[in-house]
Structure 1
Amino acid sequence: MQGPRFESTERYIAGDDLAVAVNAAVALERPLLVKGEPGTGKTVLAEEVAASLGLPLITWHVKSTTKAQAGLYEYDAVARLRDSQLGSESVHDIGNYIVKGKLWEAFETEGGAVLLIDEIDKADIEFPNDLLQELDRMEFFVYETKQTIRATKRPVIIITSNNEKELPDAFLRRCFFHYIQFPDGATMASIVKAHYPDLHKEVLNEALGLFFGIRSVPNLKKRPSTSELLDWIRLLVIEHVKPGDLEEKAQANAVPPFIGSLVKNEQDMDRLAQWVGSRGWRR
């Protein structure tokens, strides 16, 4: 593979398999579909890929109401009608009422771009299918202006999904797929060190022990994620938590400080309390 390649950065620790997936998708000129638990860095991955490849990042946040057409363009007929009633000269050029979408923006970016289609599974099931031709051919037709928009350089496309719904097979065939496994202890330690290089090693070890202890509690509705761990570590740093403080809490089977950074609903709080009460913090 020629040209810049994606690798781990000082801020983003990517496993070898993830780096291989990114570079393979770039080489194949296929969208990279990334799945994984919420908070495992799928969205941040696009930012780091853009920085690594020296390309601008264009982000399309998908919602339940998002339609594929919005990524291409939208025709503002209401604005044109209003201008017509006001006697504006702009109504004679329909192009004045075409609103470019994120895909159009990525297509016309000189030198290429990284396009993030974030949380594609939030939209309805037809959303991915409605983008098949545009992602394949890297072009689309604007009916109002009778023009074809083609990519000046094929963008690097990263698509994230939280597995809220299954994606169509026809769409999956056009993607390179990668599932981001939840980091193990050593990898998680590296991630924390990348963000908090001055964190005392003992505090780090105690924090990770409690964090993975919480994740091991059975039947949690939502297990804490990497991003939530980093929020928690930030609070520990702000409050100058010292070595031994967290271990003391664990030995007393007490709730860790700032638990609201890690556990986000009352049912999981109850499960955690019952688990610790019966077993302590043994994993």
Structure 2
Amino acid sequence: MNHEKLFRSTGSYIAGTGLIESVNVAVALEKPLLIKGEPGTGKTVLAQAVAEALGMDLIVWNIKSTTRAQDGLYSYDTVKRLYDSQFGEAGVSDISRYIRLGKLGEAFSHENQVVLLIDEIDKADLEFPNDLLWELDRMEFYIPETGVTVRAKQRPVVIITSNAEKELPDAFLRRCIFHYIDFPDRELLEKIVRTHFPEVEDKLLGAAVSAFEEIRSIRNLRKKPGTSELLDWVNALQLGGISGEVLEKELPFPGVLLKKDEDLDALKKHRFL
């Protein structure tokens, strides 16, 4: 592998050995890296950390239920062209003026190699991943309106995240390097918190992580808190002047961790019992 392009944990992102290896293999093989894991395990932030570690720009394509593969390639603004023609604007015959590249097109056209994050691909319809196969394989696409083929000047590092809401097609999976991010264990959780809050008191950190793990162990939570909620909570505890001793007896600011009425009720019952 090119040691100049090796991913490692950064000052703001702590990655396990398996994840580091998966990122570096994907970069070396020039294949998309598909990341799965429950919400709050740092899937989206990973792309930012990879870009930082490799010294590359980051381009983010956020996927929604209405997103089409075409949206990532380019759009042709026919309405603006028609409007301009009605008002006698110069250059209406130049269709390229009305072509706007999507996020994939931006990544292909960038002078330098970039990291492209395709975030939450499973939100789109079932055909969306298959519709991207050609572009991700060939790193090019054709614009029939202008007769131009857009080819990647530098093959981007492609990171794709999924919350496993839908099964992805086998043909798509075969083209990816896959990694599942397990939820951090206690030791890693403490390292993550320390990375963001190096001055946090040991007793407060230990009590906060213990309470956090206790909450995650409650059965039938609709939305378990993730690492981002833990970080927000520790920050709130510090700002509120809450000590580790207090945290061992009560649970301040539960709304920072839990975002559903049913989950807050479940916490109350759990603590009461």
Normalising by structure 1, we get a TM-score of 0.94
What does residue 187 of structure 1 align with?
188
What does residue 84 of structure 2 align with?
83
What does residue 53 of structure 1 align with?
54
What does residue 203 of structure 1 align with?
204
What does residue 117 of structure 2 align with?
116
Superposed displacement of residue 272, structure 1: 1.7
1:39-60: CA deviation from partner (whole Å, max 9, x where unpaired): 1111110001001101100111
What does residue 102 of structure 2 align with?
101
Superposed displacement of residue 243, structure 1: 2.9
Partner amino acid for 2:183?
Answer: F
Partners of 1:121 and 1:90 in 2: CA distance:
40
Divergent runs of 4+, >3 A? none
CA RMSD, Structure 1 to Structure 2 (Å): 0.8
Partners of 2:241 and 2:255 in 1: CA distance:
18
What does residue 230 of structure 1 align with?
231
SS of the residue aligned with 1:116? Answer: strand
Aligned pairs (5 A) from 1:239-258: 239-249=240-250, 256-258=251-253
1:11-57: CA deviation from partner (whole Å, max 9, x where unpaired): 10000000000001001110000011111111110001001101100
What does residue 259 of structure 1 align with?
254
Partners of 1:5 and 1:110 in 2: CA distance:
21
Contact 2:84 2:92 in 1 (8 A): yes
Superposed displacement of residue 96, structure 1: 0.5
1:88-133: CA deviation from partner (whole Å, max 9, x where unpaired): 1221100000011111110111121000001111111111111000
Superposed displacement of residue 270, structure 1: 1.8
Unaligned runs of 5+ in 1: 250-255, 279-283
Contact 2:34 2:162 in 1 (8 A): yes
1:54-87: CA deviation from partner (whole Å, max 9, x where unpaired): 1100111111111110100011100111111111
SS of the residue aligned with 1:10? Answer: coil
Task: Indicate yes or no: 2:265 matched with 1:274.
Answer: no
Superposed displacement of residue 276, structure 1: 2.1
What does residue 133 of structure 1 align with?
134
Partners of 1:81 and 1:175 in 2: CA distance:
41
Contact 2:33 2:178 in 1 (8 A): yes
Contact 2:208 2:244 in 1 (8 A): no
Partner amino acid for 1:96?
Answer: R
What does residue 253 of structure 1 align with?
none
1:122-160: CA deviation from partner (whole Å, max 9, x where unpaired): 111111111000000001101000011110110000001
Partners of 2:87 and 2:172 in 1: CA distance:
45
1:232-258: CA deviation from partner (whole Å, max 9, x where unpaired): 011011112123110122xxxxxx101
Aligned pairs (5 A) from 1:123-162: 123-162=124-163
Unaligned runs of 5+ in 2: none
When residues 271 and 243 of structure 1 are mapped into structure 2, their CA distance, relative to the original with a 3 A threshold, is closer
Contact 2:203 2:244 in 1 (8 A): yes
